[in-house]
């Protein structure tokens, strides 16, 4: 099969107005910020040539550099239903995709990039691992604050006015890092550069 796209970024979240702006949808927010900045529009999957997989997604395509931004709209815990078929369609390898998602184990607006790893309780990541059969794909975790009580209620809540400035800054920083990786394909340099930058700004754990 001919290669359809060089790299893919998946922003995880839940579809619908009920979940818009919630902590669980910060993956959507990062990709929407990046697309807006790069002048890309999200379109239905009918825009993808010879793609016949699940249609519950929206995507934004760039040709220079060559990449695809994807927001699965299957609900978080079924993200793999979209990621697996798109990975097959694209001709990319697992190390050529990057998943962006919320993390309650990081403080608010903290950012962390990793080349691989387990699901760590994140149901969207678990679904992707089950779908593509490996944990060896890059991911960018966005801290949404640690829950005081119920984790589910916390991730489905919206950010307070006091939290918004910090999370908006983190979304912009995450988009910067993703774009560097999309342009270079060099995850190790991306990790080194941005982890140092975020540590200096106080937006990355020590």
Catalytic residues, which ones? 24
CA neighbor of 46 nearest in space, from 62, 61, 65: 61
Instruction: Give the Cα separation of 12 and 206 in Å (integer).
Output: 25
Element at 99 (helix H, strand E)? strand 97-103
Q: DSSP label at 54? A: -
3-class secondary-structure state, position 147: coil
Q: Which residues contact 196 (CB under 8 A, 6 or more apart)?
A: none
- The encoded tokens of residue 80 equal 């793999």
Backbone angles phi, psi at 56, to 5 degrees: -80, 70
How far is Cα 34 from Cα 49, in angstroms, rounded to an integer? 23
Q: Which two tokens stand for residue 75?
A: 């609900």
Euclidean distance between the first and the last CA atom of the chain, given in angstroms as a whole number: 44
């Amino acid at each position: 099969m001919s290669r359809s796209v060089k790299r893919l970024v998946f922003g995880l979240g839940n579809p619908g107005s009920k979940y818009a702006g919630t902590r669980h949808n910060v993956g959507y927010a990062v990709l929407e910020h990046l697309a807006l900045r790069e002048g890309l529009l999200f379109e239905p999957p009918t825009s993808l040539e010879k793609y016949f997989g699940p249609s519950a997604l929206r995507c934004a395509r760039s040709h220079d550099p060559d990449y695809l931004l994807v927001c699965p709209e299957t609900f978080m815990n079924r993200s793999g239903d979209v990621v697996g078929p798109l990975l097959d369609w694209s001709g990319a390898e697992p190390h050529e995709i990057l998943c962006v998602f919320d993390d309650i184990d990081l403080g608010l607006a903290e950012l962390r990039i990793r080349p691989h790893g387990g699901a760590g309780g994140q149901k969207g990541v678990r679904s992707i691992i089950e779908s593509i059969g490996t944990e060896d794909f890059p991911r960018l975790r966005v801290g949404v604050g640690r829950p005081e009580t119920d984790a589910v209620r916390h991730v489905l809540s919206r950010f307070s006015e006091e939290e918004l400035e910090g999370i908006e800054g983190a979304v912009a920083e995450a988009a910067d890092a993703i774009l560097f990786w999309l342009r270079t394909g060099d995850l190790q340099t991306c990790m080194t550069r941005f982890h140092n930058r975020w540590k200096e700004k106080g937006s990355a754990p020590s």
